[in-house]
Amino acid sequence: MSARRVALVAAALLGIAVVVVIAVRTPWTVLPEPPGGYTEPDPTAGLDPDRIERAEAFADALRPASLLSLVLGLGVSAALGLTPLGARLMRAVGARVGGRWTLQVLVGVPVLLLLGRLATLPISAYAESVRSSYGLSTRSWWLWLRDVAVSLAISAALTVLVLLAFLWLARRAPRTWWAWAGAAASGLVVVGSFLYPVVIEPAFNSFEPLPAGELRSDLLALAEENGTPVQDVLVSDASRRTTALNAYVSGFGSTRRIVVYDTLLGELPDAEIESIVAHELGHVAADDVLTGTLMGALGAGAATALLGWLLSWTPLLRRAGAGRPGDPRVVPLLLFLVSAGGLLATPVQNLVSRQIEERADLHALELTRDPEAFVDMQQRLAGTNLGDPDPPAAWHWFFGSHPTTAQRIAMAADWARLEGP
């Protein structure tokens, strides 16, 4: 069997493994059907007309910009990756740095990423102005530019490291590079899951312990009752950037902590904050991060094997102006294929995410036994975060990572009916 065919078979087998993990680990039916059937979601989610009108106006202002940014970013990536343009750029960089392939990657990759970011930067600035005009963003333009620069720098650094390893393997093992790269990519997903809370999060926010008091004690007790004790309860300085309300649990073992946005404190009653945290603890109890890491690791392996098949197709390499997988001129094509693959996987990822989020909602209800606080919290989050309680079905199918506010409130009503008076 040819090396190209082996790569395709490996991609198929790993893809099947991903499907199996998704099928087994995704909670497809979260709540049994109550007597009389499930509650029909109220499109208004109980919000007053003014809030709904404001949320819909906000969404109408951002959705076209989001689509344009997506199309433009992918278009720039395609122009660089599916034509000789990107290869010529890499070759020009190589000529200036002495022709060494490592230096071509070190210099060329940041240039490619910068071009893509500059193409969509005006749209991002427009989106930021919309968020600011609606009171969601509190960032100054200098802080916004700083966040853009830090994000681009982190992305460029990680991408350079990954591509250096990728090309090194492709040059050292021309027939089996994809297998080694797949193993490395899978390992990187696992390592990234553990390092993100202690490396990436501090690059954008500062964290301070929540002062001693009833809320801190209740949240720590909630984690204990959940069977997933945490090391600390931290407050993130989210208000430097946004007025949005949120909380999450991050880390594993000794690094696990509850993080609440400072925007929550003083804005929500303790019962509603506890409901949000109980939802996040539901993810921990169900090992959702570990499941996501497993799916990501298998998916990375499958994607790398598929790249091994695609990058051994001579007509594709010629179209991109590259000679072989170990050629630095293949980098623009590789970046495009990764972007296109991520876009194609988005609806599947969000389908799984919506089911997992629904299970976490159920966990919050069972842990707190307070459906009223849950409903009040959902309505408050929708109103403050300007979430559309009932977005267009097609948009929600593709981009929605959580159930709609209307669906979440309907599920709480079903849970209350099942639990009885």
Q: Which long-range contacts (CB under 8 A, 24 or more apart) does 308-314 make?
A: 308/3, 308/4, 308/7, 308/10, 308/11, 308/177, 308/178, 308/179, 308/181, 308/182, 309/4, 309/7, 309/8, 309/11, 309/178, 310/337, 311/178, 312/3, 312/4, 312/7, 313/4
Helix, strand or coil for residue 264? coil
Residue 4: pLDDT band with limits 50, 70, 90:
confident
Q: What is the pLDDT of residue 17?
A: 95
- The secondary structure of residue 261, as a DSSP letter, is E
Give the dihedral sign, CA 399/347/86/301.
Answer: positive
Report the C-alpha gap between 45 and 53 in whole angstroms: 13
Report the C-alpha gap between 376 and 370 in whole angstroms: 10
Interval 331-381: pLDDT, tens:
999 999 999 999 999 999 999 999 999 999 999 999 999 999 999 999 999
Beta-strand relationship, 207-209 and 247-250: unpaired
Is the pLDDT confidence value at 197 over 80?
no
Cβ count near 20 (within 10 Å): 11
Residue 315: pLDDT band with limits 50, 70, 90:
very high
Cβ atoms of 38 and 410 closer than 8 Å: yes
Beta-strand relationship, 247-250 and 232-236: unpaired
Cβ atoms of 304 and 185 closer than 8 Å: yes
Cβ atoms of 150 and 203 closer than 8 Å: yes
CATH class of 207-280: alpha beta
Q: State which amino acid sits at residue 299.
A: G
Interval 262-291: pLDDT, tens:
999 978 999 999 999 999 999 999 999 889
Is the pLDDT confidence value at 136 over 70?
yes
The CATH 3.30.2010.10 portion of the chain extends over 207-280
